[in-house]
Structure 1
Amino acid sequence: MDSLITAAARALASGDALGALKRVALRDDAPALALRGIAMAQLGDLVRAKALLKSAARAFGPREAVARARCVVAEAEIALVSRDLTWPPKALDAAAKVLEAHGDRVNAAHAGNIAIRRLVLIGRLDEAERALGRLDPTPLPPPLRAAHELVAAGIAVRRLRTEAARAALDRAGFAARQAGMPVLTAEVETAARVLDLPAARLVSRGDERPLRLAEVEALFSSTLVVDACRHVVRADGAVVPLASRPVLFALARALAEAWPGDVARGVLIARAFRGKHADESHRARLRVEIGRLRAELAGLAEVLATKRGFALLPRGSGEIAVLAPLVEGPHAAVLAFLADGEAWSSSALSIALGASPRTVQRALESLAGEDKVQAIGRGRARRWMSPPLSGFPTILLLPGPLPSD
């Protein structure tokens, strides 16, 4: 490797993308193309970066398997940052194996970090946690060690383990300062702010107030919670999922919001069945659904009949509360992803949400009609984005189970 390539690589390692480009901008050999691609990625031109890395991978000879694998890893990271979730993860896994077999443990670990970040993004937290446990961060240089700790913090935040998240962010901040890269330090600081922002609303005894993540974690340990972020009912570590039974969840939420009082039958019918006028068929259906709700909540709470309607009573002497998103609506989950400020394709949102492409497309069109999101590009290059909303509850709306799920 010649001196210009070596100097450009060192510049990139320290975060000096412009310094690297000054040394290799006019060269078209494979190593220069690869370094130019990484530099363009650091400068934010992801389309050009991807094209350069593809050219570099083709230009490397058959005996340069490690160099080609490094190009694949860089391309995978660009795909992740640009939210191209259709990029094949098997290619990244194959590249990591090549790097590991040739003794490049640092880049192999970097490939593992990228794979874990993708799993976290689409809510596969169990797989991500197992993969993170198998990854040894000891040989990693400070920039990659910071990235590793950011992944650990992301998993802990999704699991509502706020103390573990804060500890991981402290380690990430230390590694970022060691690396001397202001961009990385800023990324850690941005991630740490999530812990201090409002994440949800607590509705209890007729009042409501915002909660931070640590307060949400504490709430789950002491209260029967009707969780409108995940559409479950939680108490004492037990979880009753009601996401696929919207009528039962609507009844549970209405009863929890009114606790310790009761709710009139007409109000329950309006909330659960969206009926403006209650007739005998509505009242009969309400009795059936209340019976089903009693069966689902057996052991956690009782549903008692009163003169005018029904009331929810927790087992023991605990309290009842509703945990609601700060922003609610039919497309809140889509907005939660777009609130990170990145540009998403509709196919990537479909993968992350586990919804059909057409459902996501309809949601995006509806939000665009309300000027909440905007489209950039056309055809397959079209991306959707929204400016970050202050205090938007992205964490609790994103997919992935909590510890007791």
Structure 2
Amino acid sequence: MEQQQAVPFTRYQKFVIFILAITGFTVILDFMVMSPLGDMLMKSLNLKPAAFSVAVSAYAFSAGLSGLLAAGFADKFDRKKLLLFFYSGFIIGTIFCGFAESYPALLAARIITGLFGGVIGSISMAIITDIFALQQRGRVMGFTQMGFGASQVLGVPISIYIATLWRWEAPFWMVAAISLLIFIAIAVYLKPLTAHLAIQQDRSAFKHLWHTVAKSNYRVGFAATALMSIGGYMMMPFGSAFAVNNLGVSYDQLTILLMVAGISGLIVMPMIGKMSDKKDKFTIYAIASVWMMIMCVLYTNLGRTPLWQVVIFNVLMMMGIMSRMVPAGALVSAIPEMSDRGAFMSINASMQQIAGGVGAVISGSIVVQASKGSPLQHYNWVGYAIVLISVVSIFLLRRVDNLTKKKRSNDKVVIPEATAVHEAL
């Protein structure tokens, strides 16, 4: 594997990592909490699996649509202002989720939340790419994507607990309260990010969007992200329902299961991030994908299983899933030019969200449940589908890897615009 020298972080860069990580934590928690609340929602609102998958995919589809609409404007404004605008809308949408008293109201609230929350990840990625050199981004991705693990260690168990004490709406109120504090921190401490405005070439937002989509190299990155996301979203909507109704896990045990998986994520993500900065990113992705495929097939074919075995299987499976995210994100982030990053990241996030929504709908059409509390049927078919999709995604990310290496070899400066950013920090 290629050995590279790690570039240290400045104090301000460490703050940026922290603020983006906790921002991502709230957005991920808002989305992730739907899965563990799934069994509770399906029973309390008398929903079939297909209807619940629509509630999950509604967020994804609206997030994808907003990302496409915002892509043309993503490089026209200070990235800090964009982050604050969309984060404020995300907070409002989450509050509406807390007010929801019926399935239609919940569906509408999830759409509003997705319209704003779905763009935040792409803005964060553009900020990361502006501030951090490629040799740092593996570690940055490892830390910022710890929000995934942190949401399971802290957010999801607490959400289930307060939902059990009160109602399923309570977790959304918790997310809104935490997000408001983070919003204030971003407004006060994050510096403006406007370097990209000096090199803008497209006057029209539509032309800038078309200019970004028209590049064949960019489309390879979009396709790789979309395909990877379809597989990731297919298992998620029915994770808790499968654990409760098929594996025999109680709600109390479900909290333990998610906490252990989350802790493993907090340990694995930084390790994979450091490894991605020192070793070949594609090799790490390929190994993690193969591991994930094996564990997905084994896990989705389990029947009634002791808790300790479920925990082990779940942790091993999550290790594979999360270990793909870091190197893939770092590789795709290296494709766009600085003037296109905001648009590229917005479109890329849209492809991720839309593909995820498609994945949730597909799994909802595959998985069936005869009655409340009965085992889910055909969940193992979802595991087999993930294997096929993951094989193709490996070949696509190989193309991304080749494009990234070719781009770097053609650059006359080893560390591009990030050098100027470092000097300004």
When Rg is computed on C-alpha atoms for both structures, the one with the higher figure is 1
Shorter-chain-normalised TM-score: which range? under 0.3
Q: Which one scores higher on RCO, CA 8 angstroms, separation ≥ 6?
A: 2
Scaled by the length of structure 1, what TM-score is found?
0.23
- TM-score, length basis structure 2: 0.22
Q: Hey, which of these two has a bigger chunk of strand by percent?
A: 1
